[in-house]
Amino acid sequence: MHEDIQSKLYMNIDDKKLLEQAIEDYEKYNNSQKKLLIALVNITIDGAITTSIASLSKLIGFTRAMVYKSLLGLEEDGSVKRSNVKNSRVSTFELNYVKLKYILELHLKKQEFLKQKQ
């Protein structure tokens, strides 16, 4: 990995604005998945959050069905891991920082490439 990208990556993984831009730029996710992942990034504490699908639904303005569908895609891609508490409406959602670093690195590389083209 290019040294400049490496230093930016470790410096910027906590830069939520840059991470949001990287998620928005990530072509693999649809708009619903991007919006859900950005919300999770912004409300997580130490990489995890315990909440309900209903709360996430209210937070981002999606139906619960849309949240479930978006979450399924994020889980399948490995960005988010959900752990259900037995007999509870709440789940713990853990962010996969390796995947987020990949998304951020891809975004930074695209930006660097565009600068070199100019």
Report pLDDT digits (tens) over 14-23.
688 899 999 9
Mean pLDDT of the chain: 86
For the 3-117 domain, the top CATH level (class) is mainly alpha
Q: Are 56 and 70 in contact (CB under 8 A)?
A: no
Mean per-residue pLDDT, 85-114: 89
By the 10 Å C-beta count (0-12 exposed, 13-18 middle, 19+ buried), 23 is classed as: buried
pLDDT in the model for residue 46: 83
Joined together, the tokens standing for residue 37 give 């992942």
Tell me: pLDDT of 97 over 50.
yes
Within its chain, how far is the Cα of 23 from the centroid?
Answer: 6
Report pLDDT digits (tens) over 51-94.
999 999 999 999 999 999 999 999 999 999 998 766 778 999 99
Single-letter residue type at 86: K
Q: Are 67 and 104 in contact (CB under 8 A)?
A: no
